[in-house]
Structure 1
Amino acid sequence: MASLGPATVGLIGFGALARQVVAALGDEPLRWVALVREGSSAKVPENVARVTVLDDLIGKRPALVIEAAGQESVSIHVPALMEAGISVLVASMGALADPEITGRISEARARSGASLIIPSGAIGGLDYLAAVSRLPDVKIRYRLKKPLAAWRSKLEALGLSGTKTAVTLFEGTPAEAARLYPKNLNAAFTVALTVHPAQFIVAVIADPDIDTNMHEIEAESAAGHATFRFANAPSPDNPKTSAVTALSLAASIRNFLGDGARR
């Protein structure tokens, strides 16, 4: 594989996900710069420059910025970056459930021509889902199953921390799921954007019999019946996040910068 070249890549936040993305692209001669809060205790390695003001990140003119700091950071930073003509890869997909945020991003994209990149994250099969989403009879179901450890505080609040059977914590729309579980339902909203305007139901399940983060997607339509199951190992730094998520972001960065180099 050809080198991506010494492009500058920005990061919003430098928590576990950002660290894993940088590590996954450690063989590339990229220049990294991370935007962190003033006074943040985040440890930034020597190969990553540190800034605390958005204007300083914009001033570095990165080829791409990776949002890896949660839904609030999407609202605060992404429209401004895109107004400046800087393309952004959004990890916190649930933020796009807010029409006000998506409206601001759409307006910024229209004015600047910057790209909003949607990674597949912890799941796959999006090409199939997009293909069948316009069929009038399509029915799509998404279930997120995680070990009890990923839902410890929620289960304790419900008095179910010692449950021996699976517990359905939520069932409803992807927008509501993203609002209630902002750190867990990014994959569900990725599906929602892929299949729009088709509607589907999201279920969130705590399962004592699994030790992986499991995403199950079913699609029924005149085109057939498809089932996707992704049993992802939890991130060692954050059991609520799948380890493959950082690899997906790294692949998206490679694709974007590689395409840019060929244009």
Structure 2
Amino acid sequence: MKPRRLVLIGFGAIAGDLAATLLDAPQPGYVLGVLLKPGSASRQRLPQSCTPLSDLAELAAFAPDLVVEAAGHEAVRASVPGCLTLGLPVLISSIGALHDAALLASLVATAREHGGRLLLPSGALGGLDYVRAVRHASELTLRYESRKPPAAWSAELKALGHDPDRLDAPVTLFSGNAREAAAAYPQNLNVAAALALAGPGFEATGVDVICDPATTGNTHVVTARSEFGTMHLAIANRPSPSNPKSSWIVGRSLLAAIEQFFAPVMML
């Protein structure tokens, strides 16, 4: 079996950890390319075994089996459409970008026209299989609660007049729907977007964002109620060592999705 060819868009903390794991994978292993803007400082950090790519033409010549976006919302807008035009499957880490209805519709249309695919990982959340199963329930209510410690919301707390170092009670930063949440917190509410896309949509998915000094990790609580039953799921993730607003598990979720993509047996 030939090595699996994969391109990473971006090379931040998540992509760097992911690349290190993939390069250590047993046979048949992975051959990695990394798409970066010309002059990007990240080029200096690329392992020698990774091929740097500067544009869509070089990406096409690399002929990847799969493209993985790990560079933020702007990368979804700037790089993903071209990959779909090439007929490639693209695993999107920055799912929150898809709160933009026009962007999502455009990406779906491009994928359909050219044979590409949008693949969405579960990220920091679990239970999306259950949510997909009940998404068409006539009596469905779905709500997501995010609780993170003050270190994750320092700037936001200061803007509201709170001292992050002296916070002694929870502060609700946001309460609304998933589209509003993803727009308000583009770097932090990928989970809300994933839940909305798996479930009844952005407007029908409720979201509460709470900064809680009693919380040591990034806690996600999902409650789904319908005529089929009730799910109440709570996950406490450890923050990423390099970014307290993100969960450490996110990189592992991308790895699991990549392994599923290439596996002869797929769990849906």
- Please indicate the TM-score interval, normalised by the length of the shorter structure: over 0.9
Distance 1:132 1:110 in 2: 25
- Paired AA for residue 12 in structure 1: I
Quote the offset at 1:97 in angstroms.
1.1
Corresponding position of 1:191 = 195
Distance 2:5 2:17 in 1: 17
CA RMSD of aligned residues (A): 1.6
Corresponding position of 1:31 = 31
Which one of the candidate residues 50, 53, 56 is aligned to 2:55?
53
Counting only pairs closer than 5 Å after superposition, residues 90-129 of structure 1 correspond to structure 2 as: 90-129=92-131
CA contact (8 A) 2:108 2:118 kept: no
Which one of the candidate residues 149, 152, 166 is aligned to 2:151?
149
Say if 2:16 is the partner of 1:12. no
Counting only pairs closer than 5 Å after superposition, residues 170-249 of structure 1 correspond to structure 2 as: 170-197=174-201, 199-249=204-254
Corresponding position of 1:166 = 170
Which one of the candidate residues 256, 261, 264 is aligned to 1:251?
256
- Paired AA for residue 128 in structure 1: Y
CA contact (8 A) 1:141 1:219 kept: yes
| TM-score (normalizing by structure 2) | 0.91
Distance 2:71 2:48 in 1: 20
SS of 1:239 mapped into structure 2: strand
CA contact (8 A) 1:13 1:67 kept: yes
Structure 1, gaps ≥5 residues long: none
Quote the offset at 1:109 in angstroms.
1.1
- Paired AA for residue 196 in structure 2: A
Quote the offset at 1:108 in angstroms.
1.4
Corresponding position of 1:69 = 71
Distance 1:22 1:97 in 2: 28
CA contact (8 A) 1:61 1:86 kept: no
Quote the offset at 1:253 in angstroms.
0.5
| Number of residue pairs the alignment of both structures matches | 257
Distance 1:259 1:69 in 2: 29
Change (3 A) 1:158 1:5: farther
- Paired AA for residue 197 in structure 2: L
Distance 1:133 1:106 in 2: 19
| TM-score (normalizing by structure 1) | 0.93
Distance 2:242 2:50 in 1: 20
Greater mean alpha carbon deviation, residues 48-57 or residues 244-253: 48-57
CA contact (8 A) 1:146 1:211 kept: yes
Q: Which runs of 4+ in 1 moved over 3 A?
A: none
Corresponding position of 1:40 = 40
CA contact (8 A) 1:70 1:183 kept: yes
SS of 2:243 mapped into structure 1: coil
Distance 1:86 1:75 in 2: 16
Quote the offset at 1:101 in angstroms.
1.1
Quote the offset at 1:259 in angstroms.
4.3
Distance 2:126 2:228 in 1: 19
Distance 1:95 1:134 in 2: 24
Identity %: 39
SS of 2:103 mapped into structure 1: helix
